[in-house]
A and B are shown apart, each in its own frame.
Chain A
Amino acid sequence: MNVRRGFGLALTVLATASAPALAAKLSAQSMELEGRVDARILTRVEPVFAAAARDSLPMDVLRAKVLEGATKNRPPELIARVVTDLAEDLRATRTALRERLPDAAISGRELAAASLARGQGVPMESLADLWSSRPAGGSLQIPVTVLGELVRRGVPPDEASAVMRHIIDTGVPLERAAQIPGRLDGVTRPDVAPPEALERALRDLDIPAPPAGRGPGG
């Protein structure tokens, strides 16, 4: 058996083995949803779930979106559209991260936070910069959420990501880091530029500022 045949056989075995697992996963998702949403919603979201499962997207995030829409009594077609858009956002965010950091570990919750941050104006470069500081075994869910909140408040993305990366590198507790947006709200005024407000917020929280000139990847 040559190498090529061996590789092909391995793929076939993997596909055969993973198909039941994928089917079981989808079935479980459907069963969980069945009791909560009507058949019209299920019919519309099942293809989205199938594609998402094949791509190993975080199913719990998509499922929560369906349940949110059902709880809010939104029309099935709208729920399907929103879930489809969310799946595409998650897929695109992960692809973009993988292009920059092929070996990056990305949990489902981190991916959901990164997708939300992109919607808040955080560029992929800033997310990749933060991911390059990801501690082994740690989660970037909260740092990425804080990064998105900072950018949403007008802090330039490169400065915001430099601060968050420095926080991760220096081991500042997340409990303190997560207070930065709120403290920023307290010092932001029309006559105080967001970077200056960020500097004050960090000082108030006794969080060390990153070294001057440190930008993405710096």
Chain B
Amino acid sequence: MTTWKHGARGAWRRRAILAGLLGSSLATASSIHAQAPRWELNLSGARIQYDSLSALNAPSGSGLLEWRGSKLLGRIGAGVTGFQNAGWTAHGAGELSRWFSPTGSTGPLHLEISGAASGSKHSSGFDTYFLRGNARAHASGSSFGGWLGLGLAHTRTSVDPASVRGVIPSLGAWARSSATRFTVTYEAPEVLERRYHEVSTSLAYSGDRLDLTGFAGWRAAPSESALGDESWLGASAAFWLRPEAALVVSGGRYAPDVIQGLPGGDYVSVGFRITGSRARPVPEPAARSPLLFTEASATRGSIGFELPEARTVEVAGDWNDWTPEPLSRDSDGRWVLPPGLAPGVYRFNLRVDGERWIVPEGVPSSDDGFGGEVGLLVITGDS
């Protein structure tokens, strides 16, 4: 029997927390930039050494469902974790994020409102829940960006009915090359009138058959806190055996969570993941191949572009003597080109909200000679 050193409350709390960590740890790194809808199943076995406990083995199974639209992200996950001689815990989590673009969908500024909820229940009857809401302002380019945000968190357990609240200002920045992404985040959670300062970093790489994620962080605790300064470090590697199956190995150290009171610990985990659609820790750049359509699709008028925040969209190109033509939306909300384009190669631009000329996302662009860019549209004859 595992020895728990800090009484029943601490023991059950740790088990519930551990279950949540095990269930979500494998999914976390891979689920950030998924193309939706997608699903993922994870089976893993872990060896955990918490700071104040004996080492224990913990097999875990979890699942994830995710839907990502251009302005909305929804994700739910659930799982079960067994503990060596210490029962089992079921856990679940959900997250919803909505994006707004005050400067239009092609602008660099975006606002994000998100909410997350999670809970767990141990076989003994002990349960926990955790809620968090975030508001963030993002400024994003194609290879770097940053954000400023404010979060509110609320947590409670069945053992202690008094809830704990936290206020979490944060700011962060990221930079990416083709397959590598670096992120640094600063958070200053205030919990029980004590302010902590936390800096965390992550570095992710996504290759043909390998995804790597490393993380490290450091936190300064106020002198009156029972928690001392902390540092943590870890890495995860997913070896994709097939496009839909990966072997996942991870290890490192978790830091104690100041809001939920989660303990820190060292861990090693080996697992297996299957998914309907691989989600890379570094999103792939948008394909900028020729915008290719067949003559039939051009005749039907089914060539469309997603610009959800645009109020008006006009198109001008080689086929219409560069005379701006207003586009209309189809039933899916896409801005659709007028039908009847003949096979050929055309250069074109879109004008959004009567302001500036753009090349839509995913369309190859070349220098237009006038200080801007022009897109390429290819329509082939039906064979």
Contact = CB atoms under 8 A, between A and B. Distances in A.
Given A74-B370, A184-B289, A142 B318 contact: no
Interface string B295-317: 00000000000000000000010
Interface string B266-305: 0000000000000000001101111010100000000000
Contacts of B178: 189-190
B140 interface: no
A119 interface: yes
Given A175-B382, A182-B290, A69 B318 contact: no
A55 to B, nearest CB: 20
A174 interface: yes
> Which residue of A68, A181, A185 has the most chain B CB atoms within 10 A of its CB atom?
A68
Given A68-B322, A85-B369, A174-B381, A145 B290 contact: yes
B98 interface: no
Interface residues of B, number: 38
B357 A192 contact: no
B318 to A, nearest CB: 5
Given A68-B347, A175-B383, A119 B207 contact: no
Contacts of A211: none
Interface string A55-66: 000000000110
Nearest to A60: B318
Nearest to B285: A185
A36 B376 CA distance: 23
Contact of A67 (B206, B289, B322, B344): B322
If over half of B's interface residues share one DSSP class (helix, strand or loop), that class is named, otherwise mixed; here it is: loop
Contact of A192 (B208, B318, B368, B378): B208
Given A119-B366, A174-B381, A141 B344 contact: yes
A142 B378 contact: yes
B357 A189 contact: no
B179 A174 contact: no
Interface in A85-122: 85-86, 109, 113, 116, 119-120
Contacts of A152: 364
Given A181-B290, A185-B289, A71 B323 contact: yes
B345 A109 contact: yes
Nearest to B180: A190
A209 interface: no
Nearest to B372: A72
Interface residues of A, number: 42
A146 interface: yes
B378 A178 contact: yes
A185 B208 contact: no
B257 interface: no
B120 to A, nearest CB: 38
A28 interface: no
Contacts of B179: 189-190
Given A175-B382, A175-B383, A113 B370 contact: no
A85 B369 CA distance: 9
Contacts of A86: 369
A191 interface: yes
Nearest to A120: B366
Given A109-B344, A174-B380, A146 B370 contact: no
B289 A71 contact: no
B321 interface: yes
A174 B366 CA distance: 22
B324 interface: yes
Contacts of B347: 64, 68
A149 B290 CA distance: 8
Interface in B163-206: 178-179, 206
A71 B370 CA distance: 11
A64 B345 contact: no
Contacts of B292: 175, 178-179, 182
Contact of B370 (A64, A78, A116, A187): A78
Interface of A: 36, 64-65, 67-72, 74, 78-79, 82, 85-86, 109, 113, 116, 119-120, 141-142, 145-146, 149, 152, 173-175, 178-179, 181-187, 189-192
9 contacts: A67-B322, A71-B316, A85-B369, A145-B378, A174-B383, A181-B289, A181-B290, A182-B289, A191-B207
Interface of B: 178-179, 206-208, 284-285, 287-290, 292, 294, 316, 318, 321-324, 344-345, 347, 349, 357, 364, 366, 368-372, 374, 376, 378, 380-383
